[in-house]
A and B are shown apart, each in its own frame.
Chain A
Amino acid sequence: MELNFVGVAAALATFFGVWMGHVTVRKVERNAIHLWIPIGFFLALGLAFVSLSLTTSSLILSAVSGILAVTFLWDALEFVRQQNRIKHGHAPANPNNPRHAKILAEHPEATTFGWLDRDPRGSKYSAEELAAMKAGAK
């Protein structure tokens, strides 16, 4: 029986596309002063992979580049969504980035505190505990 590698190729493109996007968007959004630069870069990268996916005659290359294309285009959108997480305090702001410093000044929920840097404990945090955690981090 002949093995079909298109599924494994799609799986690798999906997993590593999502992983790289997850890490890159957070890191770049944290440090970029002007967000339109990485947004433009990822839009261009996505379109380049769209073009590769449409023109190649290889089924596996088309699959991998098609999945990566859509992932990169989504990453461009995620830069905006990540900035909104910073505004809501759901992701930690970088006070050394002027764009984040402005967000910290204008959005009371924004914080440099990383709420998610902990293990699950099995019970819900009370409002008092949450306030104490945020105060202790400052």
Chain B
Amino acid sequence: MNWFGLSLGFATLFIIGLGFVWVIRGERYFGYLWWLYVMGAGIAVIVATLFISNNWTSALLGAFGASLVWGSTELKEQAVRGELGWYPFREKKILPPFADVIKKWKAPSL
């Protein structure tokens, strides 16, 4: 029996669960315009796993990087949920560098 994959599957479920928390909190205080940086960080983490020889570390970081990329595509919809009053709303956001440029781009939503 090879328990690596199934244990990793449950660990991934937990990592995705954390995604709900940081997407909701992160959007509330920082706003959805951070999506580009979050996506970039996720891709960087995934590329970095190529150079980690320990299988558990590499796999867990890979799942974490993927959840950052996925979460980056959820931020825009979460911003709308806040404005609709489904989540606590904060009008004042800590904006990312180049927010006015990023605002002109279409934020991903899958």
Contact = CB atoms under 8 A, between A and B. Distances in A.
Interface of A: 1-15, 18-19, 22-23, 50, 53-57, 59, 61-71, 74, 90, 115-116, 118-125, 130
Contacts of B10: 70
Nearest to B19: A18
16 contacts: A5-B50, A7-B52, A7-B62, A10-B62, A14-B62, A14-B67, A15-B69, A18-B66, A23-B110, A53-B2, A54-B1, A59-B2, A62-B8, A66-B8, A69-B6, A116-B80
Which of A8, A55, A66, A122 has the largest count of B CB atoms less than 10 A from its CB? Answer: A66
Interface of B: 1-10, 12-13, 15-16, 32, 46, 49-53, 55, 58-63, 65-67, 69-70, 76-77, 79-86, 89, 91, 110
Given A4-B51, A8-B49, A53 B84 contact: no
**Secondary structure class of chain A's binding surface, majority of residues:** helix
B81 A70 contact: no
B95 to A, nearest CB: 11
Contacts of B6: 50, 53-54, 62, 66, 69-70
Contacts of A61: 5
B63 A4 contact: no
Contact of A14 (B63, B80, B84, B86): B63
Contact of B12 (A54, A67, A116): A67
B5 A62 contact: yes
Given A9-B59, A18-B67, A116-B81, 12 more contacts: A11-B66, A12-B66, A14-B15, A14-B63, A55-B1, A55-B2, A62-B8, A66-B8, A67-B12, A71-B9, A119-B76, A121-B83
Nearest to A53: B5
A8 B83 contact: no
A14 B76 CA distance: 20
